[in-house]
Amino acid sequence: MVVSESWTMVRHFEGVPKPEDFKLIEKELPPLKYGEILLESEFWSVDPYMRPYSKRSLKEGDVIMGSQVARVVESKNVDFATGDYYVAQAGWTTYFISDGKDLRALPSEWPESLPRSLALGAVGMPGVTAYIGLQQICNPKAGEVLLVNSAAGAVGTIVGQIAKLKGCKVVGSAGSDEKVTYLKEIGFDEAFNYKTVNSLEEALKRASPEGYDCYFENVGGKFADVALQQMNSFGRIAVCGAISMYNDSVPQMGPYIHPYILFKQLRMEGFLIFHWEDKPLYKEAQKQLLEWILENKVKYHEHITHGFKNMPKGFIGMLNGENIGKAIIKA
């Protein structure tokens, strides 16, 4: 008999999630039926999307959504062997039963040199988000200038490095001097701490007096007001996140962006990776990212919180920007 632990959302978050909004529950799992698999989570992902989606798709008391790398500990399904690892979408939970349909194999021939947690980060959802979002919306060309904010995050770090591989000048905004140092280490041409610059406008101008052709948006709100002013004509904006707005109870207001969109003929497009999960491009992206990582062309960093019991803390920390690179919870 297996007892599974899960983190539930006690009440809908108001503003920044607080520890008391989460509750750990236990549940006995039934014996496996024919065709079923029992898995144990090894790594969990905490991601910004969980904040807005908690409101959109969770009821109070629900187990919080999310993905994990999990190991098959028992199998009554011939297609799944004990000891094998999969990426699952089982939420914040330690053990779970699956019929196998929602399990995604790790990219084949996973190299021993790399932690499997990368399947939740640089080679997983955030890395693929960076890869496909950049390609499909920004479509950056050599010599163009790309701006990415939340640049030291799981998506931003990969966006910047891919854009560098494509021959762009890359500018990143992040929330600490340590993050800025990291961004320069991994090849960003310019990076600044948006919390300490006197003026975001000046910081953006100094970083790229020639303006911006591509803008990979993870932040939204007032950052966007300033950035849009410095876009070049025919600029492309991939709206991949809006972390500055996720904790709002009342929508933030700003000047309408129509004049920028119109007179600069900008293209702004929202991007959700979920749309791409079943498409061939998703696997292509994973393959390419894995290759780049093994060639050391793309570097990764993980911010690991140890212990399932600390998962809410890791989530809140990620929303507060404590992580460099991918925020991961390790069992």
Where do contacts with its own copies occur on this chain (CB under 8 A)?
A: 52, 56, 217, 220-221, 224, 239-242, 245, 251-272, 275
Pairing of strands 85-88, 104-105: antiparallel
With the CA atoms of 113, 116, 117 and 120 taken in that order, what torsion angle do they form, in degrees rounded to the nearest 10?
A: 120
Identity of the residue, 255 or 307, whose beta carbon is nearer to its own copies in the bound complex: 255
CB of 215 to its own copies, least distance (A): 12
Beta strands in 10-111 (DSSP E): 22-29, 37-45, 68-75, 85-88, 95-98, 104-105
CB of 56 to its own copies, least distance (A): 7
CB of 217 to its own copies, least distance (A): 7
Identity of the residue, 30 or 259, whose beta carbon is nearer to its own copies in the bound complex: 259
Identity of the residue, 136 or 176, whose beta carbon is nearer to its own copies in the bound complex: 136
Identity of the residue, 186 or 268, whose beta carbon is nearer to its own copies in the bound complex: 268
**In sequence order, which residues have a C-beta less than 8 Å from that of residue 209 and are 6 or more positions away?**
none
Identity of the residue, 234 or 306, whose beta carbon is nearer to its own copies in the bound complex: 234
CB of 265 to its own copies, least distance (A): 4
Q: What gap in Å lies between CA 149 and CA 294, rounded to an integer? A: 26
CB of 219 to its own copies, least distance (A): 9
CB of 225 to its own copies, least distance (A): 9
**In sequence order, which residues have a C-beta less than 8 Å from that of residue 195 and are 6 or more positions away?**
175, 176
Q: What gap in Å lies between CA 55 and CA 23, rounded to an integer? A: 17
Q: Which of 114, 109, 128, 155 is nearest to 294 (CA)?
A: 114
Phi, psi of 293 (to 5 degrees): -65, -45
Identity of the residue, 59 or 258, whose beta carbon is nearer to its own copies in the bound complex: 258
With the CA atoms of 41, 47, 51 and 57 taken in that order, what torsion angle do they form, in degrees rounded to the nearest 10?
A: -50
